[in-house]
Amino acid sequence: MMIVNYMTKYIFVTGGVVSSVGKGITTAALGRLLKARSIPVVIQKLDPYLNVDPGTMSPYQHGEVFVTNDGAETDLDLGHYERFLDQDLTQASSVTSGQIYQAVIAKERRGVYLGRTIQSIPHVTNEIKERIRAVGRESDASVVIVEAGGTVGDIEGQPFLEAIRQMRKEEGRDDTLAIHVTLLPYMATTGELKTKPTQHSVRELRSMGIQPDVIMCRSDDQMPDDLRDKISLFCDVEKRAVVPLPTMSTIYEVPLALEQAGLTAYIMERLHLPGVSRDLADWQKWVARLKSPRGRVSVAVVGKYAELPDAYLSVKESLIHAAVHYGLGVDIRWVPSGKLEEGGGEAALEGVHGIVVPGGFGERAIEGMVRAARYARQEGVPYLGLCLGLQIMVIEFARHVFQSDDPHSTEFCPSTSYPVISLLSEQEGIEDKGGTMRLGGYPCHLVDGSKTYAAYGQPEVVERHRHRYEFNNAYREALAEAGLIPSGLSPDGTLVEICELRDHPWMVGSQFHAEFRSRPNRPHPLFQGFLEAAARKAGQLPAPAAAIEEASPRL
Ligand code: GLN
């Protein structure tokens, strides 16, 4: 792809009316569209909450914690960005109010501010602007897209909006663009979409000194043209910059819809970006495959938070990527592991072609996951364990081999007589909870002759971690002899990173989070291997060779 460089330009994306209007996906889609025109982009998320990062937050509060290769625990929107851009991001792409205040206060303690009073403006806003500019510098991007989390009007978000206002002034109108994403609610009584909340939201944004250049209107229905006129008039934006964002059958369609609505062309014009012809054919082809599967497989995801699928967002997307590779659709059955602890709970797994046990922390509902692993092993159902899912697989197998219910992880049962999963030695003595796990990319050597090696097709990979506990080497030999093969190891051989079951179609667990590296056009090898086994179980493979052949366009 030809890459062209310009002075850095900035696109700011804010949200109005309500949260969850799809701002993150819209931002990711916009990045994809610019990249498809050979413009180097980077995306940054500004999160207004006071936590330093979401690493210590409950999934109920926050959904999935996404981990970058350089070890940052971030918002799940970073996952959308990476998947849509097909580009690794760094910790510079994830900024929270907590980080900003922490940095400002640390500088104050060091005496950097030379006795001055520390204020929101300019000290906090300067720190924010510096982070925005830094991500552009560090990534060599021509366009930095900044998504401000939350909704306009939130108290916590105000310093971010003020920093954006200042940047618009400092960088100039030709080099910055403000996009406001809102919701048009539907009134069933009158059968119409309403624009008033959007008008109010734009007024609120203007009161912070930011006049939007583009308004994107999310709605469940198609947006009538006269509403575009109305919003254009009341909110003072060109009509062609009022962009409808109807709910789509898949998030991967959003870039195509925005392109068609003329958004990229408008942005290129407003930011004076040299026109380079677009290249979206592969994306289009991929979405077409996603929308017309030639068959379906059913996969259960068994986790503590399964009733909240946002907690396992990257797992869901990775399963979709792998299924599309085989020209298939995937029906995900979300099974809260607590449900499996009830009598006859295994019924929840009946008929599935594969089982995934994703990551997690804490003791609650662990036994339900162990039961899912036992069911997979005994019934020959393909299994993929991700982080905690590997540990569960080891615990279950050890209970079987040692004919005892005692094998456990010391995270859940410190007094177990079979500590098959125990604390990483580097974790001993660590008391702070924030940012102290084994985090980010570590190399892993794959063991020749294993199913895992065959899935990857290469001897060494780098995978992303987020855990404190690991496979206890004291049990390596006994379990390997019984059929649990360590198939991926740290380069010095001391840490078991991947395990697979010898006498099973596909029972593989990874100590890392394979789901963070899957991309639409490049499904993660372990997800691909798992999905392939599930498809076989479902009778959907072997497929006509041609169907798989065109499965992974270049994008
Ligand atoms: N709780 C486990 C550990 O800390 C697994 C973590 C995870 O699944 N991310 O090792």
pLDDT digits 0-9 by tens, 237-288: 999 999 999 999 999 999 999 999 999 999 999 999 987 777 899 999 999 9
12's enclosing H/E stretch is strand 9-15
Q: What is the pLDDT of residues 44-65, one digit of tens each?
A: 999 999 999 898 888 888 889 9
DSSP secondary structure letters along 499-526 = EEETTSSSEEEESS-GGGG-BTTB--HH
In the predicted model, is pLDDT for residue 465 greater than 50?
yes
Rg (C-alpha) for the chain, rounded Å, is 25
Q: Count CB neighbours of 549 within 10 A.
A: 10
Domains 9-285 and 294-428+437-537 share a fold: yes
Quickly state the pLDDT bin for 5 (edges 50, 70, 90).
very low
Active site residue 73: no
Could you tell me the residue ranges of all domains in the chain? 9-285, 294-428+437-537
Average pLDDT on 403-410 reads: 97
Round the average pLDDT of the chain to a whole number and report it: 93
CB of 208 within 8 A of CB of 40? Answer: no
268-299 burial, b at 16+ Cβ within 10 Å, e below that, comes to: bebbebeebebebeebebbbebbeebebebbb
| 294-428+437-537 classified as CATH 3.40.50.880 | yes
Least confident of 125-139, 246-260, 534-548: 534-548
What's the distance, CA 304 to chain centroid? 18
Task: Locate the ligand 1 atom nearest the alpha carbon of residue 421 and give its number.
Answer: 10
What is 9-285's CATH topology? Answer: Rossmann fold (3.40.50)
The full DSSP string for 136-192 is HHHHT-SEEEEEEPS-TT-STTHHHHHHHHHHHHHH-TTSEEEEEEEE--EETTTTE
Q: For 380, which DSSP code?
A: T
Measured from the CB, is residue 303 less than 6 Å from ligand 1? Answer: no
Q: Does the bond joining 309 to the residue before it have cis omega, within 30 degrees of 0? A: no
- CA–centroid distance, residue 334 to ligand 1 (Å): 20
Is 468 touching ligand 1 by the criterion CB < 6 Å? Answer: yes
Q: What is the distance in A from the centroid of ligand 1 to the CA of 468?
A: 6
Which helix (DSSP H) or strand (DSSP E) does residue 423 occupy? strand 419-423
